[in-house]
Structure 1
Amino acid sequence: MEIVILVVVIAVVLVGAAAGLVVSAGRRKKAAGTEQPAPPTATTTETRTAEPHVGEEAEGTTEGARRTIEEVGLPEAEREPEAEAAPAPAAPAEPEVEIPAPAAGRLVRLRARLSRSQNSLGKGLLTLLSREHLDEETWEEVEDTLLTADVGVGPTQELVERLRERVKVLGTRSPEELRGLLREELLTLVGPDMDRTVHTEAQGADDRPGVVLVVGVNGTGKTTTTGKLARVLVADGKSVVLGAADTFRAAAADQLETWGTRVGARTVRGPEAGDPASVAFDAVKQGTEASADVVLIDTAGRLHTKTGLMDELGKVKRVVEKQGPVDEVLLVLDATTGQNGLVQARVFAEVVDITGIVLTKLDGTAKGGIVVSVQRELGVPVKLVGLGEGADDLAPFEPEAFVDALVEEA
């Protein structure tokens, strides 16, 4: 009896479990048939891409036939836009090298300018000599005229004595005869036979340039004269190196370099307040290495009353001479300084052995007699004269042209 009851209970439990399974399966099937996948949403600004499926669910998701790698192609690498290259800064234009006018006959071409400033001397003398009676008072006036023109005491006395003798012999005196007489005596006084060549060629040596030392006091136009002389030499077909040995005046080296650049001449310079002798030495050395024809050395303006500075100028010359002799030493004098210029000339001559004189500002004064007095004082010829501020107004001194400018008829 008990066994029958146990069998019945087990049967009931099995039937209940089977019924529960059937109900659960039906519910799942219904739920599967009613559930709809959510449609994909899209916006105007973004498209959502389908998430990749995994395993069996991945089947059927490939759209269209598969393409080979050749058909797909590789994406081109993104290239950053090339920045436009900035234009290279334009190189500064090379200054145009000037071609100076030939030096030959330059003083003759400038004679008109010279005569306007110097004619008062010749005109005054001719007026005095044209008087009907030449008494002692007249001859004293002739002397005063010559002294005022800075001819100097000794040359003046010599000239007056010769004029008195020749006028006495001549007797009658026409204006033309007087002009010819005065021209002859002035030309003799100026010294037509003196060697006025500016020596720019090395003496007895073919492997070094000629060396020209330019000296003078402050304010005489020394640096400008050096630059103008470079133009004269370039016009004559010579290659020039400039030595800026004036290291005490800040603008001197710049000024000289500007002159050199205009004619294609190299400028050798040193530090401001540096050793002038060292700069001069380097200039000659570089001139030799470059096979230049001439080296022009511009020294600092010296006051002839400053012993230390004058000694330093002597040092510059000695240091340069270690490479060879200095071929020319030009003393630059201001023609307007008159007899004071002679004092300067004496001191410079004692220190550096002057070989030639350059007279500047000769066009602005009626004191052209300084040509005579400075030559007589030093026994050294005037070789160059400055007749104006123009770049080509430095000219070789020609005694005939100078005297003609003095006595020509206004």
Structure 2
Amino acid sequence: MISNKSRLLIILFVSWFFTMCDRYVTQLLFPVFETLFLIPNEFVLIISTEAVWWAGYSTSAIIGGLLSDKFLRKKLISITLFFYFVNTFLIAFALNLLVFIFFRIMSGLFAGTFFPLAISLVSDAFPEKKEKSRAMGIYVSGAVFANAIAPLIIAYLIDSTNNILFANEWFHYSTVGNWGLIYQIFSIPLLIMSILVYFGFDEHVIIKDIDKSDQPPIRSIFTRNLNILLIFITLDLFELWTLQQWLPYLFQVFFLTGVSAAGGFSAIGGFIGAFGAVIFGIIGGEQSKKTGKKKGNRLTLIIAVFGDCVGLLIFISLPKGQASIPYAIIAIMLVIFAGTGEYAAIYTLITESVPPSVSGKTMGICIGIANFSTVGGLLIQGIVGSNSPTILMILWIPIIAALIQLPISYLYNPTD
């Protein structure tokens, strides 16, 4: 029989997977939105599709984190997923850019509320050193598996003229066209997961195992180490998202692929990234067992940062055209594998750095602040992309963030 905490991890993993599918639907449809909404350049494109999403996500992540330490997180997660379903379903009826932007903001708000609630619940459910690292790696990989699987499905739906869904006129009730149906297909699992979260596991058992009353009062959650981790996670997410947001678009306009190929190449990076999160989680757990939990996860950070930098520098040096695709895939595999490993390791370190009584608040604040940086990064990329001779110049933004992480990874003192 599956234990309560295993059910929790499985359900939240799948929920996070479908929550993130929304992002990858949008990324692969960038060229569609350029034509549909008459978007003039990359700057307007990234603001109207992704920057507004991240603004909503970052704001609600802080709110979700604050709520998670005061209320039962399971109910809040279930409610959030339900409204996310409603919003994702209705976005198909966005007939102009302003309405579309409104729905993108709302999508970000719901996703941002979900993440700190869920990750703090996973942290509480797996308090032991080794199992916490593994559980965090598995949970975080849900978003990366979405990057692997969603683009394949989306590309198939876009390109397949014989697909029964698109051959049947009954499904063409959205006046915008087939792109809206794709959002609606991915909205249904959100409703299912909302129900499963509510009925699938018992949060009271987890709360009972954690005695928060015996913990000493906390003057401030922002210790030296946590401040360093906050800087690190800000740079890590800045780098990861300012790369991933553009990958399907880059494959189509720089490496001259079709939608299906762009989806397939993004999927390869996603699968590798998911394995990176799990493998680095296992490495961190094993090293934690030998050297102490914080030292183990610090080692994974240092290894991952080096991999990040190498992969990004390879990618940006490639010439335009299909001949560069094999090398681009190798570089992206390395970057996403390492970057997602960082992603998992640093969330584990953050939850280990504070008592359970404030883990949700801490995670929400860290996620909110870190992802606000993504909004700025995307805006900078939009300006660079609109004023550069080659779109690949936008990748200097995540490269700089990756290079800055190298010295910061050594500042963190696992013994503090």
TM-score computed with the length of structure 1 as normaliser: 0.23
Give 1 or 2: higher helix fraction.
2
Give 1 or 2: higher strand fraction.
1
Q: Greater CA radius of gyration, 1 or 2?
A: 1
